Structure formats: structure tokens, C-alpha cells
Structure 1
């Protein structure tokens, strides 16, 4: 088992398989996109599979496939299949924007994927276009329907933004009345690919107060171990509600997560600006045992929380890097 210097067991790897995305969400990147990672700097399927294998041999039993948008990567479904077959892996999940996902749902079910995080910031078509700069709302809803039909657990991720989608909070809560979905409201983070600061009026406390005004009977429920969300239920509702304090970072104390970016950089914290490039180590001929030593050393330097990580290593320019570059 991988353990950091604070005694936290690290068993959860978030693997970003591509930086590219087919949306241009305002909180993630500029309208004209980003300077994408060059093809030779991206990890190959074989490199990703090898890194995942090394981690599972070290006790990582949960992997989440992220991006960018995972299905923008060529033949990503085959890579997902190979990862699903790794010994020691008990939980494989996926984060997607839903635009290209629907045709692959039967295969995802076959591979044993039980949970999918679906990015959806509004239930209004016009606001969807304004936020994502793409007219693809119907495709996302088709993916939602398909996932539920195949009995795959759905967590809807909604970034809460002042003057953008506040009017969607209550309709999204109401979505949990009859559907077996968890809707998680996420504090906006500064990783927008530009130089725009956020005021964060809509932090965890404000989001909760707003929901409670409409649903005063809302109840706190048990948070799963290592959960990043504070979880709630409206009595009688089928699904649940979560609030993720992504910017105020109040969940760091029992963090069990690490990230691998599309170019192979191991980041032990979302707010960390540096990291070891495992892809480069592989291309220099490192053995699996040598990779394990590098990983162990990196984990031992995992910061106490996101505030410490930002203070120690995140430069002013890196604060505004895109989440697609970091790995969602």
C-alpha cells in the first residue's frame, strides 16, 4: 500500500488520457482553445497501461479515466478495455462530457464500469451553449439516458458560477427526485486556461444555504470514505446531492488521490505545479522497480493540502492553467 508522510493511504489514480476537448467551457479554457500537447509528448497506450500496471501492483485499486474529454482520444475504448483487465483493479470509472459517449455505453458496461461522472452545468439549452460554446445539449442528455438504462451509476458534475447558472441549481436538485443520480455542485476553481480571477461568492456555504431555502427538510447523509463531496438527501428523493469544496479545499485531510497528466506527469495534488514525468522515465529505459522507487519518493513529498501545494509550487501563471492540461 502506498502511504504518504501524513499516513494517508493512496489507492486512487486519476489518469488523464488526453488534453483535447470538444467543448470550450468558460471555466476551463478560452474560446479558441489551448495550445495542445504535441503528439510525441503524449503518452502512448502502452505507456499508460504500463504506468497503471505499476500502480495497481503497488496497491492502487481505483482508477478514473479523465481528460480533456477521454473519447476525443483515438481508440480510447480499447485502452479503457485493457486497463479494466489489470490485476488488482476493483474500481474503474470515467469522467466525460457526454458528447461522444453514448455509442460506447454497452462496452463500458461490459468492461465493468459501474460509475460515470457526467459534466452538466445546466438543464437549459441556451445556457448550455453560452457556457460550453457548443450546441450539444441533446447529446449529453442522450448519454445520461443511456447510462441510466444500462444501470450505470451517474454522478452529474455541475460547476457553480455567479451570473452563469445559479438558476439551474434548484432544477438540478429536482432531477434527483425521480432519477437515481447524484448531482454534485462544485465550487469554481481558477483553472480556466486564461487570466480571469474568480470571486467565489458561491462557495460551499452559499450553495448549501441556497438549496436549503428551497428544500428546508434537506438532510446530511453519510459521506463515503475519502469523499470529496459533502452529501445530502431531500427526504423522498431517489438520488442525492453533493457539494464539493474544490476551491476552499476542506476535504484534503484524508486525500487518497494522485493524478497522471496526458504527458505523463505525476501530480500528487491538483494544486501542485510540478511533478515527475513518468513517461520520460519510461522512455529513458527505467524498469518497473525503478519506477516504483520514483513513485514512492513522490508520494512521500505529497503536500498536506491544496493550500500548501499552491504556496510551495504553483506559480501565478500555473494558477490559471486549464483543467484539461492538469487532468480533470
Structure 2
């Protein structure tokens, strides 16, 4: 379907949990957060009903997220059932990789096509500082297992001011040697991420060009997202840039998000959306659910306002005069 601005909405990111086995500094405070009650989180049956309704509206691709999605039991079976939905073309997953080593074969067997692994450094010591956990070896083991299992793998690196030239070049070399694309994703001012600033795309490209010569923009499709990809003159390696704040791509945004407690969120930078859990648990019919989702997707905001003068600190004002607290990324689903 198309929203009120004519954009084709065919992609949904579904958070299956707000729980995570890391404590990345830009995502969660060290002590963690107040977690949702298990009974407040959507069941897999509820998620599937929403996904089936989305498919009837033209949703063709699903990204399973968290928190960390692999900490929720039975996620492989969910992926299998998402794949079985009529009209669904692609089911992928974003993970921190800690549990991927053991789970990659069953995820591939369930029909998962690819995984994005969040990894912000190739330095084990820096990894421990960023994530507050000494688990770098487990992530690398997970990446290797995913590749062996036949999954397409991409690395997602959050771009913060602490990202150094050495980090950028280490990832570039890793991509050359492994053939795995590395995507540098601009830090967004959401939750804990408001404390950080990002290295801009121009500086990233300058570092890469100085080391590898001219970069060539690639037109080869490499996923469902908005990354701009570059390859080196040699043809080896692939770097992607996603800069939602300073190089916004709202005009071509094709996605909505479902939080783990059933809120259909229309934009990361907006409280706009609708609670689907309550009507589901109140016996809403299939047609009523379809109508509700279609009604709200049509009013998806035209653009984010991360750079507006009032900023995004503290609480967000709502139209009824109340406020909504800014959420951390693990509570939104990314």
C-alpha cells in the first residue's frame, strides 16, 4: 500500500523482545532498564496475525529485531511461519551475534535469508568498553557460523565520535578479506544515543579514499534498507553508509515498526502510531485489524525532525497535551 505521501510501504521491522544480553552504551544504561512484563509482550500468534494482515496490505519483507531477538525462545519457528505467509518474500534478522554461533544452522533451515550483525569495533578491548561485556570472540564465531550456514551477512557499525580512523580502516580491510559488507550507520539521537555525535559521511569517505583510492558507488541491490554502498577500485570489499539524520532519506522510507508490546510505530522520530495489542486481545476481526493498520499507515509522518531546534530531550509532547517519554532503541526495535 501507499501512505499519504505516496510512499510504497512494503517493509516491517518486528521487535520480538526488549531484552538483551549486552549493555551497549548508546542503547541501554549499565544497570539495564525496567523490562516489560512477559504478559505485555506480543505472543508469536499475535505477531503472525499482524504480519499476515500486513501482507494483505502489501508488506513483503520482515526484519526480526529486539532487544536481542535470539534471546527469545522459539524465534526460529516464528521465522519459519513468517516465511510461510502468503505474499511474504523475505525474512531477515538483526542480532548482536552472541547466540548466532549455535543458532545459525536452524535459522537458515527455517528460511532466514540474511542477518545483520551489530558490531562497532574489531578491537576486543574496545568491544568490551562499548558493550560492557567481554564477548567479542562469540560474535566473531557467530558471523563465521552464519556464513557457513549459507546466510547472507552484513555488519552494522554504529558511527560515534569515538570511531577512529583505525576502526574505519580495520572494517574496510575486514570487508576486503571476508567479502562481508560493512555498513556505517549514523548514530540517531534516540534514548542513550542522544549523548553521542557521529562522524559524518564525508569524513568516512575521505578516510577510505585516502587508503583505497577512488570509491565506486554500487548499484547492486544488497538488502531492504536505505544504505548507499561503495566498492573499491579493486572490486573487493563493500562499504555502506546509512545517515538518517544529516542525509535523510524520509522521501523514500518504505517501513513501519512493530514494538514488542504491540505498538505499530510509524517513524522512529515520532510518537505517531497505534496500539494493536489491545484490539487483538479484545477479539478484533481480521477486517477490522486490516482497516486499523491501513488507516494509520496512511498517516505515516512525512519526515523526521531530529535536527529541529527543540531537539528530542526528555519527553515528547503529544497532541492531547500529555507527553511520551523518549525510549531507548532496545524498546523500539531499531
**Class of the TM-score when normalised by the shorter of the 2 chains:** over 0.9
Name the stretch that deviates more: 220-229 or 130-139: 220-229
In structure 1, the residue matched to 2:216 is 219
Q: Are the aligned partners of 1:273 and 1:310 in contact in 2 as well (CA < 8 Å)? A: no
Alpha carbons 2:165, 2:207 under 8 Å: kept? no
The whole-number CA distance in structure 1 between the counterparts of 2:172 and 2:305 is 30
Q: Which moved more, 1:311-320 or 1:84-93?
A: 311-320
Superposition deviation, residue 300 in structure 1: 1.3
1:308: how far off? 8.3
Q: Does the Cα contact within 8 Å between 2:80 and 2:111 map onto a contact in 1? A: no
Task: Give the 3 Å change call, closer, same or farther, for CA 216–192 of structure 1 in structure 2.
Answer: farther
Q: Mark the CA change 1:139 to 1:82 in structure 2 (over 3 Å): closer, same or farther.
A: same
The answer (yes or no) to whether the contact 1:249–1:306 under 8 Å persists in 2 is no
Assess if the C-alpha contact under 8 Å between 2:216 and 2:232 holds in 1.
yes
Aligned residue in 2 for 1:76:
75
Q: Summarize the Cα distance change of 1:246–1:51 in structure 2 as closer, same or farther, 3 Å threshold.
A: same
Bigger shift: residues 27-36 or 242-251: 242-251
The aligned runs of 1:72-221 (5 Å cut-off) are 72-164=71-163, 166-193=165-192, 196-200=194-198, 202-221=199-218
Structure 1 stretches lacking a partner, 5+ long: none
Query: In structure 2, what is the equivalent of residue 20 of structure 1?
Result: 19
Q: Which residue of 2 aligns with 1:56?
A: 55
CA distance in 1, matches of 2:190, 2:29: 11
| Alpha-carbon distance in structure 2 between the residues aligned to 1:41 and 1:314 | 27
Q: Verify the 8 A CA contact 2:13 2:256 in the aligned structure 1.
A: yes
Q: Quick one: which of 272, 286, 296 aligns to 2:270? A: 272
**Mapped contact 1:160–1:187 kept (Cα < 8 A):** yes
1:255 alignment counterpart: 253
Unaligned runs of 5+ in 2: 317-324
Q: Equivalent residue for 2:319?
A: none
Q: Which residue of 1 aligns with 2:46?
A: 47
SS at match of 2:173: helix
8 Å contact from structure 1 (residues 264, 277) kept in 2: yes
Distance 1:165 1:320, change over 3 A: farther
Contact 2:79 2:111 in 1 (8 A): no
Aligned partners of 1:309, 1:44: CA distance in 2, in Å? 36
Distance 1:175 1:282 in 2: 46
Match status 1:326 vs 2:332: yes
1:77 CA displacement: 1.9
TM-aligned CA deviation for residue 79 of structure 1:
1.8
- For 2:182, what is the secondary structure of its paired residue? strand
1:298 to 296, 299, 302: 296
Tell whether the 8 Å contact from 2:18 to 2:36 is kept in structure 1 after alignment. yes
SS at match of 2:153: strand
Displacement of 1:27 after TM fit? 1.0
Q: Deviations over 1:38-86 (max 9, x none)?
A: 1121111111111111111221110010010001112222222222221
| Equivalent position of 2:226 in the other structure | 228
Q: Check whether the contact 2:190–2:328 (CA below 8 A) recurs between aligned residues.
A: yes
Runs (4+) of structure 1 moved beyond 6 Å?
Answer: 308-315
Deviation at 1:88, TM superposition (A): 1.1
Which residue is 1:67 aligned to?
66
User: Higher mean Cα deviation, 127-136 or 208-217?
Assistant: 208-217
The separation in 2 between residues aligned to 1:170 and 1:116, in whole angstroms, is 23
The answer to whether the 8 Å contact 1:26/1:192 transfers is: no
Q: Offset at 1:314?
A: 6.5
Change over 3 Å in CA distance of 1:309–1:83 after alignment to 2: farther
CA RMSD of aligned residues (A): 2.3
Task: Say if 1:59 and 1:312 are closer, same or farther in 2 by CA, change over 3 A.
Answer: farther
